[in-house]
Amino acid sequence: MLRRTGTTGLLVMALAACAGGGGAQAGAAPATRPEVATPATTQPTRPSASQSGEGDELRLVVSKMSVEEKVGQLFMPVLYGTAPGTVSGENQARYGAQTPAKVVAKYHLGGVILFPANIQGVDQVVNLTNGLQQASKGVPLLIGTDQENGLVSRMGALMTDFPGASEVGSTKDTALARAVAKATGQELRAVGVNLDFAPVADVNVDPRNPVIGKRAFGDQPGEVAKMVSASVKGFRDAKVAATAKHFPGHGDTNIDSHTGLPVIKHTKEQWERIDAPPFKAAIAAGVDAVMSAHIVFPKLDPSRDPATLSKPILTGLLRNKLGFQGVISTDALNMEGVRKKYNDAEIPVRAIQAGADLLLMPNDLPKAYNAVLAAVKSGKISQQRLDESVTRLLKLKQSRGLLPKAPVASAAQAAKVLRSAEHRKLAARVAR
């Protein structure tokens, strides 16, 4: 699958020796200016649970990738079109490549995120995700979406209409929360989506909150924590990666970080008591990723940088204090909350320096990609720091069965899973 056959053969052989099979899924993405070396990627398989083998094989994979390929792994843009070969002026203008498939190849992308504009029908989405995986000649893609259910349901045109988090939370039934997450994950996986930016782990403290509200499981930290933990386990049951968001807690604000920069005035003690419990529960449940919030939290970082760009928050708090070792994803980097203080070239570099691994939806992908590439080549971002993020991303892909080869989604099978009688019955049960 890799363009550099020598590297490919070496890596695949090394990974295959470590363990048995996995699979990957399909996705869509656009690209632009940089002309970079074609991917020399490697893919690890799922080794047996022994710690040494897994780490050694992933490090070998990373060591055989070019700097351009490693940088590409960090990015997850939105692409334009409903098929891998859709010719789009938007893709050309934004990424310097006409089709989603060409964008994936041009930037060696690690992932893509799907929105309603990418969705028309089951057969179409399966063709899109499979085609995007084929376009990724190196490591298979993370194909993500925001399927929280309720208010935020990017795949709602195809999927079972499950109640949102506030309704699930009001049942106080963790078994139902887990079942809904599992069913949601099964439907996503059936069409080739392998990562969900859910569950919301915010505690909706402020009833005027314009961005969280009913997207949260509730306003009581302990109850929200139980629901978040159950949801993470449900997604794992479905073999889909889960993402707890928005760290360190976006619940107590009346400003939307899409259009402004909220300031959370909680003390450290209030953060520990109110905001932290759901994230601690998610980590304890084995959550794959945690998404940062574009919020200022002065008592956690007096610099007044948004959390997405804050080393004290992402590395000091999330990594070191809470012990999270998985993937840290930014919230979308085209949101005003993260663009108030820095430009589109500075933002991705600062996010990586802060501790982020996955750079979601940069406002200007060519500028962001080239800025990170230049920062690595100049030493502003060390090779070690870059390798840490790439290794975490590969480990996530490996754990969800995406390495060494992406699984191929089946439209016929997806038609049986999406809106199945069982899932509709579950949705009705929650609603009651």
Catalytic residues, which ones? 258, 331
Strands (E), 50-198: 75-76, 111-113, 142-145, 147-149, 152-153, 195-196
- Percent of the chain past pLDDT 90, that is, above it, reads 78
Predicted pLDDT of residue 205: 86
CB 119 within 8 A of CB 157: yes
Alpha-carbon gap, residue 59 to 384, rounded angstroms: 11
3 state SS of 145: strand
Residues with Cβ within 8 Å of residue 425, at least 6 apart in sequence:
none
Tell me the per-residue pLDDT of 5-41, one tens digit each, with 9 for 90 and over.
Answer: 333 333 343 344 443 333 333 333 333 333 333 333 3
Residues with Cβ within 8 Å of residue 117, at least 6 apart in sequence:
80, 82
DSSP state of 316: I
Average pLDDT value over all residues in the chain? 88
Predicted pLDDT of residue 58: 86
Whether the per-residue pLDDT at 288 is higher than 80: the answer is yes
Tell me the per-residue pLDDT of 44-76, one tens digit each, with 9 for 90 and over.
Answer: 333 333 344 567 788 888 999 999 999 999 999
The CB density around residue 77, as the number of other CB atoms within 10 Å, is 32
CB 140 within 8 A of CB 133: yes
Torsion of CA 199, 203, 209, 210, to 10 degrees: 0
In single-letter form, the type of residue at position 290 comes to V
Tell me the per-residue pLDDT of 169-193, one tens digit each, with 9 for 90 and over.
Answer: 999 999 999 999 999 999 999 999 9
Whether the per-residue pLDDT at 3 is higher than 80: the answer is no
* Range with lowest mean pLDDT among 169-178, 199-208, 233-242, 249-258: 249-258
CB 286 within 8 A of CB 230: no
Residue among 184, 181, 198 nearest 278 (CA) = 198
Residue 59, both tokens = 């490090």
Structure-model confidence comparison of residues 393 and 210, the more confident one = 393
Whether the per-residue pLDDT at 232 is higher than 70: the answer is yes
One-letter-per-residue 3-state SS of 340-408:
CCCCCCHHHHHHHHHCCCEEECCCCHHHHHHHHHHHHHHCCCCHHHHHHHHHHHHHHHHHCCCCCCCCC
Tell me the per-residue pLDDT of 328-365, one tens digit each, with 9 for 90 and over.
Answer: 999 999 998 899 889 999 999 999 999 999 999 999 99
The distance in angstroms from the start CA to the end CA of the chain is 49
Tell me the per-residue pLDDT of 152-175, one tens digit each, with 9 for 90 and over.
Answer: 999 999 999 999 999 999 999 999
List of domains in the chain: 5-431 (3.20.20.300)
Peptide linkage before 30 cis (omega within 30 of 0): no
Residue among 91, 93, 89, 116 nearest 29 (CA) = 91
Alpha-carbon gap, residue 17 to 29, rounded angstroms: 32
Predicted pLDDT of residue 64: 92
CB 203 within 8 A of CB 219: yes
Residues in the chain: 432
**CB environment 382-402: b (16+ within 10 A), e (fewer):** eeeebbebbbbbbbbbbbbbb
221-237 vs 276-284: helix crossing angle, rounded to 10: 30
The CB density around residue 133, as the number of other CB atoms within 10 Å, is 28
Confidence of residue 260 (pLDDT cuts 50, 70, 90): confident
Structure-model confidence comparison of residues 294 and 25, the more confident one = 294
Residue among 111, 115, 80 nearest 98 (CA) = 80
Residue 347, both tokens = 């933002």
